[in-house]
């Protein structure tokens, strides 16, 4: 899911504070031909693919493998899933193996839509959880791991040009909207119910047997948080970037 955050932020940031020799190799996409623009943006992703795994020290961009997330807080108090959980020291691997399904950039409506596919994500970290899932109580804290296979993500946003105080036209992101599906997911929480082996095994089996149903129940809240995060990251990045740095009219 968070792969869109990193990829679009990386695309927008790569022209900032970089050595001249790196900038000279970046593509500048024409905005007056939509087919060429979409193709150019897709090729830009491919051009930058080698940097995703290693990061870009000149921009203080961390490597994509692994991707580290300090903390994720999730609260849901209604429906089949009513839990409060915190995930910390989260590491995600597999993001750099993404493929771009499509890029649809509309200069007229100033809308950008990106479709990405990630074959597999492996996630580890620490968790604390308390609440109920399908009316079954669940509690515990400790290490966890999750495997997501077949991750399809589509994100679109409205881009508008604003003129800053420095007189330079820059891009601003609004109306971020992300949707995603996961073909197969597996999850394991260590130390559920204070380490009770029978209850812990039963709950882990239940979570995996009902993974898709649980995902659909928590998806609105996950999507809301993801949209807020993506919009903030993209807006912070693009607001620093002059429009002329990546686009040319002819």
Domain of residue 43, CATH code: 3.15.10.30
pTM: 0.76
Walk along the chain (250 residues) and give the pLDDT tens digit of each residue: 444 444 444 454 444 444 444 444 456 677 777 888 788 878 877 776 777 777 666 544 567 788 788 888 888 777 778 889 999 998 989 888 888 888 888 877 878 888 888 899 999 999 999 998 887 899 999 999 999 999 898 988 887 777 777 777 666 777 888 888 999 999 999 999 988 999 999 999 999 998 888 888 778 777 777 777 666 656 655 555 566 655 666 5
Q: In this structure, are residues 101 and 119 in contact, taking their beta carbons and an 8 Å threshold?
A: no
Spatial distance between the Cα atoms of 230 and 125, rounded to a whole number of angstroms: 22
Identify whether the C-beta of residue 174 lies closer than 8 Å to the C-beta of residue 157: yes
The domain tally of the chain equals 1
- Per-residue pLDDT, 16: 42
Give me the pLDDT at residue 7, please. 47
Return phi, psi of residue 174, to 5°: -140, 165
pLDDT of residue 66: 83
Domain ranges, residue 104: 3-248
pLDDT at 32: 74
Coil vs helix vs strand at 14:
coil
């Amino acid at each position: 899911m968070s792969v869109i955050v990193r990829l679009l932020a990386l695309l927008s940031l790569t022209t900032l504070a970089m050595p001249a020799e790196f900038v000279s190799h970046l593509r500048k996409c024409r905005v007056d031909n939509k087919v060429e623009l979409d193709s150019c943006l897709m090729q830009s992703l491919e051009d930058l693919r080698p940097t995703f795994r290693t990061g870009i020290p000149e921009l203080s961009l961390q490597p994509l493998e692994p991707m580290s997330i300090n903390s994720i807080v999730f609260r849901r108090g209604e429906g089949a899933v009513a839990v409060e959980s915190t995930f910390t020291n989260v590491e995600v691997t597999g993001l750099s193996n993404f493929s771009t399904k499509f890029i649809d950039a509309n200069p007229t409506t100033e809308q950008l839509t990106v479709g990405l596919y990630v074959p597999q994500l492996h996630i580890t970290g620490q968790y604390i959880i308390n609440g109920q899932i399908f009316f079954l109580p669940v509690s515990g804290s400790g290490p966890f791991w999750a495997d997501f296979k077949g991750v399809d993500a589509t994100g679109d946003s409205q881009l508008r040009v604003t003129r800053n105080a420095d007189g330079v036209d820059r891009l601003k992101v609004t109306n971020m909207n992300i949707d995603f599906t996961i073909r197969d997911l597996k999850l394991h929480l260590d130390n559920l119910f204070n380490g009770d082996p029978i209850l812990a095994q039963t709950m882990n089996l239940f979570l995996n047997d009902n993974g898709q149903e649980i995902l659909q129940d928590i998806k609105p809240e996950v999507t809301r948080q993801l949209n807020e995060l993506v919009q903030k990251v993209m807006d912070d990045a693009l607001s620093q970037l002059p429009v002329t740095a990546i686009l040319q009219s002819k």
